[in-house]
Structure 1
Amino acid sequence: MGLTARVGKQLAPKMAGFAPGLTGSFVREALHRAIVGIGPLPPAAVAADRQLAEQRGDVDKAVHEVIENHVRYAGAQGFVTNIGGLVTAALTIPTNITGLALIQCRMIAGIAHLRGYDLDDPRVRNGLLVAMLGEDSVSSLVKKRKLPAPPMGLATAPQHDPSLDLLISTEVASDLIAKVAGKRLAVTVGRRVPVVGGVVGMGADGYLTWKVGRYADREFLPRAKR
């Protein structure tokens, strides 16, 4: 783990002080809004179906477009929420975290929908959230037996285990906060120019989202739609 990632993990428990809403519940709310739609953004399934239509029914191409679109969304919000530099960090870090959560939830939900998963199923929702952690973190949690299975295993479990809900929400929230805190440290310690911070934030959020999208693409294998 790199220096900024380690510091991000150390700062994560303190970051909630910037905004009372940054508890485990915000990732569930982000997932809900991603699935049902919010503001100008249509529901994840609707947007994914539009991509499928544009790609003439080619699911893999539609998944690729869903990932690319959300990488661009993540980059745009990463630029805007990091352009102010250290001065505006207390205001923009919570916005950056919740924005990234919404975008990544929407992307993963779109991928899962295209592959035949029911987004209203609580097992699938847990799988979607776990995918946000990325392959390395998920493998570590499964190895430590904190999680019983990776995203697809959770999404296709025989039954929903409610005891996992809080654990998953907490892990995902902590991971997102740590990633954003670590990125902000890299931006503010190494660079004092606000616009440069925006460019770094754009690249970092876009790359994180691309990695998560590729992981979700590999995890959510096709299922027959019921």
Structure 2
Amino acid sequence: MTEKVTQNKIMAALDWTYEKAVEGGIPGLDSAIELADDYINSDGTITDKVNSLIRWQNTKAGTSGFINGLGGFALMPVTIPANITSVMYVQVRMIAAIAHMGGHNLKDDRIKTLVYTCLCGNAAKDIIKDIGITVGTKLTQQAIKNISQEVIVKINQAVGFRLITKFGQTGAINLGKAVPIIGGLIGATFDSVATNTIGNIARDTFVAKV
């Protein structure tokens, strides 16, 4: 399998996951908007609410098998190991929910691209700095408007490469294919830590500090 094909599969999986996360297409799981609304209606500042969501999603990522048995991923158009797809879904839905809580339109391709970028964790800061977006400062409408279709393609390519690198470093792809149960167990701690980092990046990207 070439690197290009691998990246294409990752991006196809991301697109499928994003659609399901936003539209609520996985049976038994709320959509990103429904998840966000649950926390929006709770007490505290918007930052408190987002932090609460992140803490809960950390638990979900650490036990990613909770959605492996639901069958929804059998319909994924590309073959990605279950221990990756389940965590990917949890993380994409969490980021999208945070973006919605920050008042952003999840139907906007530019927001979708920024959601994907947050999956890269701390590396997201480097990927988007060249387009005038700084993690930790308010995401303005002008900054969003500056993201052209050409820039979207460039960012998505960078994201695909980063994700392939990340999964390769943790052995998630090879181990997930060979021994999925053990792979899931070994990956649980990493998934939880990674999800916390990703959640913090999403919060600092999409939600103005209060």
TM-score normalized by the length of structure 1: 0.68
**Aligned-pair CA distance for 1:209:** 0.8
- Pair 15,100 (structure 1): closer, same or farther in 2 beyond 3 Å: farther
* Alignment partner, residue 43 of structure 1: 31
> Partner residue of 2:71?
none
How far apart are the structure 2 equivalents of 1:124 and 1:132? 13
Matched residues in 1 for 2:180 and 2:107: separation? 41
Task: State the distance in 1 between where 2:24 and 2:103 align.
Answer: 19
Once the 2 structures are TM-superposed, how far is the Cα of residue 73 of structure 1 from its aligned partner? 1.8
After TM superposition, the structure 1 stretch with the greater mean CA deviation from structure 2, 158-167 or 147-156, is: 147-156
Q: How does 1:147-158 map to 2 (within 5 A)?
A: 149-150=133-134, 152=139, 156-158=143-145
CA distance in 2, matches of 1:51, 1:179: 30
Q: Give the one of 143, 146, 165 matched to 2:152.
A: 165
68-77 or 208-217, larger mean C-alpha shift: 68-77
Match of 1:96 in 2: 83
Structure 2 runs not aligned, ≥5 long: 69-78
- Bigger drift between 103-112 and 174-183 goes to 174-183
C-alpha deviations, 1:39-94, integer Å up to 9, x for none?
211110111111222x236422221122122212211127998xxxxxxxxxx962
Asked if residue 209 in structure 1 is aligned to residue 195 in structure 2, the reply is yes
Larger Rg: 1
Question: 1:168-213, CA deviations, whole angstroms, 9 ceiling, x for partnerless residues?
Answer: 333323322322222127x96xxxx997754431000111111010
Aligned residues: 194
TM-score w.r.t. length of structure 2: 0.73
Give the whole-Å Cα distance in 2 for the aligned partners of 1:155 and 1:127. 15
Is 1:177 equivalent to 2:164 in the alignment? yes
Q: Is the 8 A contact 2:83 2:180 kept in 1?
A: no
Kept in 2, the 8 Å contact 1:130–1:150? The answer is: no
Deviation by residue 1:140-191 (Cα, 9 ceiling, x = unmatched): 3356x5x554564688422551123333333323322322222127x96xxx
Any conservation in 2 of the 1:76–1:202 contact (CA below 8 Å)? yes
Tell me which amino acid in the other structure corresponds to 1:16.
Answer: T
1:206 maps to a residue whose letter is S
CA distance in 2, matches of 1:198, 1:114: 30
Distance 1:201 1:62, change over 3 A: same
Q: Indicate conservation of the 8 Å contact 2:62/2:189, yes or no.
A: yes
Higher mean alpha-carbon deviation, 24-33 vs 153-162, is at: 153-162
Equivalent residue for 2:3?
Answer: 13
- Look up the equivalent residue of 1:22 and give its one-letter code: K
Q: What is the match of residue 98 of structure 2? A: 111
Counterparts of 1:130 and 1:63, CA distance in 2: 18
Task: For residues 100-126 of structure 1, give each alpha carbon's deviation from its aligned partner in whole angstroms, at most 9, with x where no partner exists.
Answer: 322211111111111111111222222
